[in-house]
Chains A and B, each alone.
Chain A
Amino acid sequence: MKITRRSFVSSAAGALLLPSEWLAAAQQQGVASRGVAPQARPPASGRPFNAHFANVAQQAGLRIPTIYGGIDAKKYILEANGCGCAFIDYDNDGWIDIFLLCGTRLDSAPPEATNRLYRNNRDGTFTDVTDKAGLHAVGWANGVCVGDYNNDGFEDIFCTYYGENRLYRNNGNGTFTDVTREAGLLRGETRWGAGCSFVDYNRDGHLDLFVSNYIRFDLARAPVPGQASTCNWKGIPVNCGPRGLPPGRHLLYRNNGDGTFTDVTKESGIAAATESYGMTVVAADFDEDGWTDIFVACDSTPSLLFMNNHDGTFREEGVLRGVALSEDGMEQAGMGVGIGDYQPVGHLDLFKTHFMGDTDGLYRNDGTGSFDDRTRAAKIGVETRYVSWGTGFADFDNDGLADILIVTGNVYPEVERVLPDSPYKSPCILFRNLGNGTFEELGAEAGPGIAEPHPGRGCAFGDFDNDGDVDVLIVNMNEPPTLLRNDLSGRQNWIKIFLEGVKSNRSAIGARVLVHYGGKVQAQARVSQSSYYSSCDPRLHFGLGEAKTVDVEIFWPSGLRETIRGVPANQLVTVREGAGIVKNRGWSRS
């Protein structure tokens, strides 16, 4: 009998080792990816899909590229993650406008490098009003969240940055003012602000602000490609991180009701959460107790679910409630978040996007804020090829079932020269809801706009042409944005609901809406940020299938529950808190 070192030592050497451990070794790269094979694809359903997407950005006047870091190579992760965008009706004309974030370059900022506001011309085109609106800003912008923080009836904008975040107050006259300093939000230090969300966590009718931070990053001392083990992808030197870099801490600011905010991170319990690479923030009432909770998708660390204790504090329960980790308890590269009700049964489910080599995650809410990972059961696991970012539940074909769209794009432009299977530009993924708890992936059959490859990042969902469906705005790295116009055919019905808070915050952010139609009940939430670092059309869109009328239940953030019965389909209704449907505040047509 031989006694050898390798007989005992639990090292990974040699043929004694399981291949699973060998094959899992690639997880030690900079970004968490489980390296899972995609699920087998079920046979095609053969059902027609009536939504059809075309990229109309060029003709709509969205022609300026979103500058973000190097084009052919990314030296730092700062250049790689990109930014979000917003559908915002900044001038309250009933037509959603476009706000696009932008980055810069390491060496110097090209002239195009600024965030941009485009006014909707109500004819399918947009006009760049950035300078006029006072929103010209150069820097590494990341996330945007929209909400009326001062309850003056005009949506304000908060942008996160690597550097100092910015709060823009909407002056109500087509211009904005940077009020970061006077609002008490200037930190005086460089941070990597990531996700953000306006949220009325204490139900005082004023929108507070949650900000996630990604990593503590110092450009002067950051490692470069190939310098460390977290700086390679399949043996190819790439930008480092987030693993190996110190994670960020997340912040909660309470709105003082006078235009200023107070940092309550510590006393609210937010500071007690484990450090994580925070990204997109979605705030909604997940356990249906009338108080808004906060979900933070986290990259390569457990995602966080802050449950509201009703007393100004939160407890973090992401792992306990099943939304922090993969089905095997492993961290994933949580980046974008969709919120919706895919079954539909009246509860808010979550969808989280991840890195290539991993599935995105679908989490079914049982109504108590406990989630089950339904990724495989719902056949979402058929797609693992791309890095996924912006996402959302939206009923694109108005059949009464929320579909899922995912924007993809690689973070390593260098890799595809060596590994053609890892392209830098990749298509959107559209999962159409089959109504039996499963989804079917569609490509070009959903229109050429879906199949177009781009290095995509954030996206916003909304009806920019007011034609009763859901269109999509997408940020592309160093390319003009994509504007996917949904040319929907068929005669399915729909309804859009716009909420106006009275006792609640004016934006009604945090409200949960149940729409009853055709024997179904679908939940949606009014949120300030979702997708990837982005903000969507504030008008909640419900596809209704054949149903011609709906009953609407609104759970306002103030605690008021309001029910409106027998609302006819195919219209936008504005509901004022406590007053029901507001007449003459409906659909805007050019």
Chain B
Amino acid sequence: MAAMMRRAWFAFFLWFSFCSLAAAAQPANPNSARAISAALHARNYSAALALLAPALRQSPNDAQLWTFAGLAYSGQGQKTEALQSFKKALGISPQYLPALEGAAQLEYQSGDSQAEALLERVVKLVPGDTTAHTMLASLAFQNHNCAEAVAQFDQSGSDFQSQPFVLRSYGICLANLERYAQAQEIFVRLLAQPGDDPRDLERLAAIQLALNRPADALHTLAPALTGHPSAVVLAEAAEACEQQKDTPQAVSLLHRAIVENPADTDLYLQFADVALVHQSFQVGVDMLSAGLKQAPDSAALFVARGVLYVQLADYDHAESDFEQADKLDPQLTISEAARGMLAEQQNDLDKALAVVRGKLRKSPNDPLLLFVEADILAERNPEVGTADFDQAMAAARQASDLQPKTTDALDLLGKLDLEADNNQRAVDESREALRRNPGDQPALYHLIVGLRRTGQKEELPALLQRLAVLRQKATREEAEHNRYKLIEESDNNTAAGK
């Protein structure tokens, strides 16, 4: 997609630079400049270059002439010479906008890292330059920096909105930033345009699932579900059905998805998720084992199966799977975190700590490992003020800072601070956790305890009510999960039954 975007912008930018140059023209020799400009206008680049040679000899420090040369070389496809000419112009006049735009365009086209800096110089000179903002957005998108991309897109006006590939990148980034409602609008518009990327349908359904609108997702997927749907479409439909509490249909669709694309490990993981939620651990293990026959090197499948083995109290197999996952993908910190937690669950806290710290030496800033380290240390029940207690606090705080969206580490901090009688700090941490996740029950409870201890009682009635509501919601959700259990049928299929 990035290359396509660059190609599209290239032609536009050439014209754009030329217009800027015309507007900015302050020629040393007006006659000569007019002739060169006319040649460029007529796309007669060789004539323009012929005129430029004497002019440059006469005025070698004329930024405008060097910019003309850049445009002429660009027109002839001589990008190296063109870039050298633009840079020469910028060496003479660093703020010369046409040269900046020309150089930026060429760097952008070649995917050079200099493009971003040049474009930023452009928007500094012309803050409302929507084209430059769009290009900066595209560069940010290519660099997986959605926050920056969306910020730039938001300053790009509406020019890009007629170009599906650019619009799509905007929509993808909005979704990545969890601005799902806006993302949904964009993909609805993209789908309304005929002959576009068929995967937009899958993307829109994914966004609707994220919005908890399974009926909308199924409606979106409906055209793709007729005939011969892809595994992705089937999996999304399965997710929508599961969200609608129609577990039997979800399981059936997932089966079809796996048959359609047995090599897609995500499908087995999704199945394992359903099995986990519905307490059908052995069925989940069996499906993951089938997945591992297809993808024996999938560390994720081993981790998932290990976790299901934990539920079955089959700790030996769980340990073996976590170890295998770590061998297969030493970069995957979750496997060692899980091993550490498994040892923690078995009350082998020394082993748990050794496993996690071993991995932390290689990945010292991994928030999950840091959280697990903090949790293990807290399980050792260190006295307040001891090195272990302080390290538990430090690791939890670091984990929380590194992963500002999650609340596990903050909850642990709140608990430790309550234990240490740092009640106001626990209050603050609980408030932050609740800001991140308003449904965080431990944080809400810690907040209640902290406020009670610090004599701040005004909020308590409302917080107690909120806790009661949260608990009722959790009970309802649990009841929904408990409606179905997955069972193996005689032909090795799996079904969900009440």
Residues of A participating in the B interface, judged by any CB pair closer than 8 Å:
1, 3-15, 18-20, 22-23, 25-26, 28-29, 35-40, 226-230, 232, 234-235, 243-244, 274, 302, 319-320, 322, 325, 327-331, 370, 376-377, 379, 381, 419, 421
When C-beta atoms are compared, the residue in chain A nearest to B383 turns out to be A377
Q: Given the known inter-chain contacts A15-B303, A20-B408, please indicate yes or no for A370 contacting B452, CB distance below 8 A.
A: yes
* Cβ B467 vs Cβ A329 within 8 A: yes
Give the CA-CA distance A23 to B376 in the complex, in Å: 14
* Cβ B270 vs Cβ A28 within 8 A: no
Give the contacting residue for B270; candidates A13, A227, A327; CB below 8 A.
A13
* Cβ A8 vs Cβ B206 within 8 A: yes
Distance in angstroms from B469 CB to nearest chain A CB is 11
Give the CA-CA distance A15 to B481 in the complex, in Å: 21
* Segment touching A, from B12-20, B94-102, B276-284: B276-284
Give the contacting residue for B452; candidates A234, A235, A320, A376; CB below 8 A.
A320
When C-beta atoms are compared, the residue in chain A nearest to B141 turns out to be A1
Contact with A along B140-157 (1 / 0, CB 8 A): 010010100000000000
Besides the known contacts A37-B345, A377-B419, 7 further A-B residue pairs in the complex with CB atoms under 8 A apart:
A1-B176, A5-B239, A8-B207, A12-B273, A38-B347, A228-B498, A325-B445
* Cβ B269 vs Cβ A14 within 8 A: yes
Give the contacting residue for B210; candidates A8, A227, A234, A379; CB below 8 A.
A8
Distance in angstroms from B261 CB to nearest chain A CB is 14
Q: Given the known inter-chain contacts A8-B180, A37-B345, A234-B312, please indicate yes or no for A328 contacting B445, CB distance below 8 A.
A: yes
Give the CA-CA distance A35 to B467 in the complex, in Å: 22
Q: Which of B299-337 contact A (CB under 8 A)?
A: 299-300, 303-304, 307, 310-313, 332, 334, 337
* Cβ A37 vs Cβ B346 within 8 A: yes
Residues of B participating in the A interface, judged by any CB pair closer than 8 Å:
141, 144, 146, 169, 172-173, 175-176, 178, 180, 202-203, 205-207, 209-210, 232, 235-236, 239, 242, 266, 269-270, 272-273, 276-282, 299-300, 303-304, 307, 310-313, 332, 334, 337-338, 341-342, 344-347, 349, 368, 371-372, 375, 379-381, 406, 408, 411, 415, 418-419, 441-442, 444-446, 448-449, 452, 460, 464, 467-468, 471, 478-479, 481-485, 498
Distance in angstroms from B172 CB to nearest chain A CB is 5
5 shortest interchain CB distances as A-B pairs = A329-B445, A13-B273, A8-B210, A229-B279, A15-B300
* Cβ A12 vs Cβ B419 within 8 A: no
Among B236, B278, B375, B381, which residue has the most Cβ atoms of chain A within 10 A?
A: B381
Distance in angstroms from A272 CB to nearest chain B CB is 12
Give the contacting residue for A3; candidates B176, B334, B418; CB below 8 A.
B176
Cβ of A38: which chain B residues have Cβ within 8 Å of it?
347
Q: Given the known inter-chain contacts A5-B205, A5-B206, A329-B445, please indicate yes or no for A229 contacting B481, CB distance below 8 A.
A: yes
Q: Given the known inter-chain contacts A1-B176, A234-B313, please indicate yes or no for A322 contacting B449, CB distance below 8 A.
A: yes
Q: Given the known inter-chain contacts A18-B408, A322-B452, please indicate yes or no for A376 contacting B381, CB distance below 8 A.
A: yes
Cβ of B379: which chain A residues have Cβ within 8 Å of it?
36-37, 39-40
* Cβ B206 vs Cβ A9 within 8 A: yes
Distance in angstroms from A110 CB to nearest chain B CB is 34
Give the contacting residue for A14; candidates B144, B176, B300; CB below 8 A.
B300
* Cβ A244 vs Cβ B479 within 8 A: yes
When C-beta atoms are compared, the residue in chain B nearest to A274 turns out to be B468
When C-beta atoms are compared, the residue in chain B nearest to A418 turns out to be B313
Give the CA-CA distance A66 to B266 in the complex, in Å: 53
When C-beta atoms are compared, the residue in chain A nearest to B200 turns out to be A3
Cβ of A320: which chain B residues have Cβ within 8 Å of it?
448, 452, 460, 464
Give the contacting residue for A5; candidates B173, B232, B406; CB below 8 A.
B232
* Cβ A235 vs Cβ B270 within 8 A: no
When C-beta atoms are compared, the residue in chain A nearest to B208 turns out to be A8
* Cβ A3 vs Cβ B471 within 8 A: no
Distance in angstroms from B175 CB to nearest chain A CB is 6
Some 11 contacts from A to B, beta carbons below 8 A apart, are: A5-B236, A15-B332, A20-B408, A22-B307, A23-B345, A28-B277, A28-B482, A229-B278, A230-B482, A327-B415, A329-B446
* Cβ B307 vs Cβ A19 within 8 A: yes
Cβ of B236: which chain A residues have Cβ within 8 Å of it?
5
Distance in angstroms from B241 CB to nearest chain A CB is 12
Distance in angstroms from A409 CB to nearest chain B CB is 19
Q: Given the known inter-chain contacts A3-B176, A40-B349, A325-B445, please indicate yes or no for A28 contacting B478, CB distance below 8 A.
A: yes
Among A26, A244, A330, which residue has the most Cβ atoms of chain B within 10 A?
A: A26
Give the CA-CA distance A18 to B372 in the complex, in Å: 10
Cβ of B279: which chain A residues have Cβ within 8 Å of it?
25, 28-29, 229, 232, 235
Give the CA-CA distance A325 to B209 in the complex, in Å: 33
Cβ of A1: which chain B residues have Cβ within 8 Å of it?
141, 144, 146, 169, 172-173, 176
Give the CA-CA distance A377 to B346 in the complex, in Å: 21
Distance in angstroms from B311 CB to nearest chain A CB is 5
Among A6, A235, A328, which residue has the most Cβ atoms of chain B within 10 A?
A: A235
When C-beta atoms are compared, the residue in chain B nearest to A325 turns out to be B445
Cβ of A381: which chain B residues have Cβ within 8 Å of it?
381
Q: Given the known inter-chain contacts A3-B176, A19-B334, please indicate yes or no for A229 contacting B381, CB distance below 8 A.
A: no
* Cβ B338 vs Cβ A22 within 8 A: yes
Give the contacting residue for A18; candidates B272, B277, B368, B484; CB below 8 A.
B368
Give the CA-CA distance A303 to B434 in the complex, in Å: 24
Distance in angstroms from A9 CB to nearest chain B CB is 5
Among A15, A227, A228, which residue has the most Cβ atoms of chain B within 10 A?
A: A15
Q: Given the known inter-chain contacts A19-B337, A19-B341, A328-B411, please indicate yes or no for A8 contacting B175, CB distance below 8 A.
A: yes
Give the CA-CA distance A29 to B478 in the complex, in Å: 10
When C-beta atoms are compared, the residue in chain A nearest to B202 turns out to be A5
* Cβ B304 vs Cβ A14 within 8 A: yes
Q: Given the known inter-chain contacts A6-B270, A14-B273, A421-B313, please indicate yes or no for A23 contacting B300, CB distance below 8 A.
A: no
Distance in angstroms from B58 CB to nearest chain A CB is 50
Give the contacting residue for B282; candidates A15, A35, A235, A377; CB below 8 A.
A235
Give the CA-CA distance A109 to B375 in the complex, in Å: 50
Cβ of B277: which chain A residues have Cβ within 8 Å of it?
12, 25, 28
* Cβ B311 vs Cβ A15 within 8 A: no
When C-beta atoms are compared, the residue in chain B nearest to A422 turns out to be B313
When C-beta atoms are compared, the residue in chain B nearest to A382 turns out to be B381
When C-beta atoms are compared, the residue in chain B nearest to A228 turns out to be B482
Give the CA-CA distance A228 to B496 in the complex, in Å: 11
Cβ of A232: which chain B residues have Cβ within 8 Å of it?
279
Give the CA-CA distance A59 to B498 in the complex, in Å: 51
Cβ of B445: which chain A residues have Cβ within 8 Å of it?
319, 325, 328-329
Cβ of B281: which chain A residues have Cβ within 8 Å of it?
235
Distance in angstroms from A540 CB to nearest chain B CB is 31
Q: Given the known inter-chain contacts A28-B279, A235-B312, please indicate yes or no for A18 contacting B269, CB distance below 8 A.
A: no
